[in-house]
Amino acid sequence: MKRAGGIRGADQAAEADQRAAALIIAGGRGTRFWPESRAGRPKPLFALDGRTSLLSDTIARLRPPLAADRIFVLASADQRAPFRKALRGLLPADNLIVEPEGRGTAVAIAYGVATIARRRGADTAVVVTPADHYVTPAADFRATIAEALGLARAHDAIVVVGVTPTSAETGYGYQQVGPAVGAGFKVARFVEKPAPAAARRMVKSGRYLWNAGIFVMRAGVLAAELRRHAPALAAAMERFGAIGARELPRYYRGLKFDSFDRELAEKSRNVLGVRARFNWFDVGSWQGLWAALRPAGGANVLSGNVIALGANGVLARGGRRLMVLLGVDDLAVVDTGDAILIARLSASQEIRRVTEELARRGLNRYL
């Protein structure tokens, strides 16, 4: 899903706070991208174009204005090896922050920001962004982040990025646009995954934006807001640096918190927003990828050794052998050499059923 905006220019992006850092949340198994996404190749390492990964694209659009040593990636311990390999040559090795296990976005952000604050100081403004979104063009993303950094600094606030909706999506969170504040606005309220009728009303009103899951705030502001609204998580954030490596997994396992939106963003009165100037897609399925990559006026997204004749609404990713699609519609076809997926494109949200069935049958080599 996307929202197009004009480029404000490289000058604005270059003004981004040089003391800032970025925390890239690299969670998600990506089961809906089977067979390309596997246990050893999680969703952030998925390649849209067969060359670069979602994660490497996320890093690239943060540079500039941020130097490589100010960009951190957070992943869970069971995925340490593939991420360490993927980040080689892109970021310093110790900029991979490893959680003992995934405990949700509230804990992930608190742990990641606490780690950055210990290295860079509590005054560091941190751009928190998912690793698995498709964003273009990079210059517009940088301009938006520059505005968010300026707003976060000027008002000691948590700043969220909102995307102008193009449809009444019920799987997204929304934010209501309140009074103008500097280059942004006060967020009046958040609405999480509304019912279809409510989503249609909100989009029609023009007063709601999709929540892109991108947050900007100083580490000290995050700690202060957690003390007000989630004191137990604030206490954990303070303890992270003092807990030894052996004790951390057991302590971490006991942390039970909801998402960052629910634990903090929806409760705090200190949340501002900026409008995204970039095109944004939450690429969550093969159909989402088709929507993101489909050329203007085109119906098919093809890559690899593929020929499509009389096909419509098809996403096909071929391998070494030739794939020919004749007179078919609404299909996702993916060939990885050891597995082939053939599914209705419109049903690609259900592909996680495939991984569940593979696990049930003990076919773990395909997971």
Name the least confident of 50-54, 79-83, 105-109, 321-325: 50-54
* Distance from C-alpha of 318 to C-alpha of 74, rounded to nearest angstrom: 31
Cβ contact 84:78 at 8 Å: no
Span 244-271, average pLDDT: 93
pLDDT range class, residue 77, cuts 50, 70, 90: very high
pLDDT in tens, 290-319: 988 888 778 999 999 999 999 999 999 998
Query: Which stretches does DSSP call E strand in the chain?
Result: 21-25, 71-76, 96-99, 125-130, 134-136, 158-163, 173-181, 184-192, 208-218, 271-275, 279-281, 300-303, 306-309, 312-317, 323-326, 329-335, 340-344
pLDDT at 181 over 50: yes
| Averaged confidence pLDDT in the chain | 90
pTM to 2 decimal places:
0.88
Helices within 181-247 (DSSP H only): 196-205, 219-229, 231-239
Span 144-163, average pLDDT: 95
* Distance from C-alpha of 301 to C-alpha of 334, rounded to nearest angstrom: 12
Which residue in 292, 298, 302, 17 sits closest to 132, CA to CA? 292
pLDDT range class, residue 1, cuts 50, 70, 90: very low
The domain ranges of the chain are 10-281, 286-366
pLDDT range class, residue 211, cuts 50, 70, 90: very high
Q: What are the structure tokens assigned to 132, written together?
A: 């698995």
Span 326-338, average pLDDT: 95
Predicted local distance difference test score (pLDDT) of residue 8: 45
pLDDT range class, residue 18, cuts 50, 70, 90: low
pLDDT range class, residue 326, cuts 50, 70, 90: very high
Span 88-105, average pLDDT: 94
Span 214-218, average pLDDT: 96
Total residue length of the chain? 367
Predicted local distance difference test score (pLDDT) of residue 17: 59
Fold of 10-281: Spore Coat Polysaccharide Biosynthesis Protein SpsA; Chain A (3.90.550)
Cβ contact 56:50 at 8 Å: no
Q: What are the structure tokens assigned to 241, written together?
A: 């640096």
* Distance from C-alpha of 314 to C-alpha of 330, rounded to nearest angstrom: 5
